[in-house]
Amino acid sequence: MKKIYLGITDSKKFDDYSNWILSSNRYVEIVRLSYQFDNAEMVATCNGIIMTGGEDVHPELYGKPEYLEILDSKQINEERDAFEMKLVNQVFQLKKPLLGICRGLQLANVFLGGTLIPDIPSVMNDSQHGKIDGKDQLHEVKLIEGSLINDISHKTEGIINSAHHQSAAEIGEGLKVTAFATSKEKIQIVEALEWEYPDDKAWLLLVQWHPERITDNDNFSKAIRTAFINELAKK
């Protein structure tokens, strides 16, 4: 089997993502992509990319600077934002497969002109998303039939983990919602995005949950990993 080169964006929990992939395939070589290395050009050498979780995307990038008033500035990294906006531009231009996780979903959505809900608990009066005492919560998710995530998981509903206080609001150009959770106010919170018309585009799956931290759920972790690696092997 040929070597697969996978780019993973740097984050505080980088090893979680790397170990998640390497635990299933010894033919993958990880390329660490980071603003500290300024190595966005390495996207060209990769079979595909994982955009990881982490800090909040700066609200100026989606035209809502006033959201800074309700955000923790310590949870914003403008250097990382600038680097990853440049990186995702490369990913789309070169038509590389992309798996976006948590912040990865949010940044890709913003890059494509979408916006974010800045803080789900305060804006939507909902506390079932995000962590409690440092641990992920669990909640239900519903999937759209015929979507990529539906095809991968063979499910139309299930339980996922949650560590996010933000989510996609307005959806970026070319994307569609393919999984969602329902808030206490009966408002849908976006849990997955994909290409609306994927035929002429590279493989793309953006999920708001953390498959790299799910240890006992094949459909929403192992199945996603397998489908992504299989796609990388084609490149």
- pLDDT for the residue 136: 64
144 in any annotated domain: no
Ramachandran angles phi, psi of 164, nearest 5°: -115, 145
6-17 in b/e form (b: 16+ CB < 10 A) is bbbbbbeebeeb
- The answer to whether the beta carbons of residues 199 and 216 sit under 8 Å apart is no
Q: Does the residue 19 lie in any domain? A: yes
Task: Provide the strand spans (E) within the chain.
Answer: 4-9, 28-33, 48-51, 98-101, 116-117, 131-132, 135-143, 157-162, 167-168, 175-182, 188-195, 204-207
Residues 6+ apart with CB under 8 A from 57: 76, 81, 103, 106, 107, 110, 116, 166
CATH number at residue 16: 3.40.50.880
The SS3 of residue 143 is: strand
Q: Does residue 122 belong to any structural domain of this protein?
A: no
The per-residue pLDDT for 71 is: 83
In a domain, 214, yes or no: yes
CB atoms within 10 A of CB 175: 21
Give the range of the structural domain holding residue 80, as residue numbers without chain letter.
4-116+167-180+190-232
205 in any annotated domain? yes
Using alpha carbons, select from 33, 62, 60, 63 the residue that is nearest to residue 46. Answer: 33
On whether residue 134 sits in a domain, the answer given is: no
Using alpha carbons, select from 235, 197, 232, 234 the residue that is nearest to residue 21: 232
What domain count does the chain have? 1
C-beta neighbour count of 197 within 10 angstroms: 8
Assigned domain for 136 exists: no
CA dihedral 160, 166, 169, 175 (to 10 degrees): -50
Output the pLDDT for position 72: 82
Give the position of tokens 């793309």. Answer: 204
Provide the residue-wise pLDDT of the chain in tens; the chain has 235 residues.
689 999 999 999 999 999 999 998 879 999 999 999 999 999 999 999 999 999 999 999 999 999 999 888 888 999 999 999 999 999 999 999 999 999 999 999 999 999 999 887 776 665 566 555 556 667 789 999 999 999 999 999 998 887 768 899 999 999 999 999 876 556 788 999 999 999 989 999 999 999 998 876 678 999 999 999 999 998 7
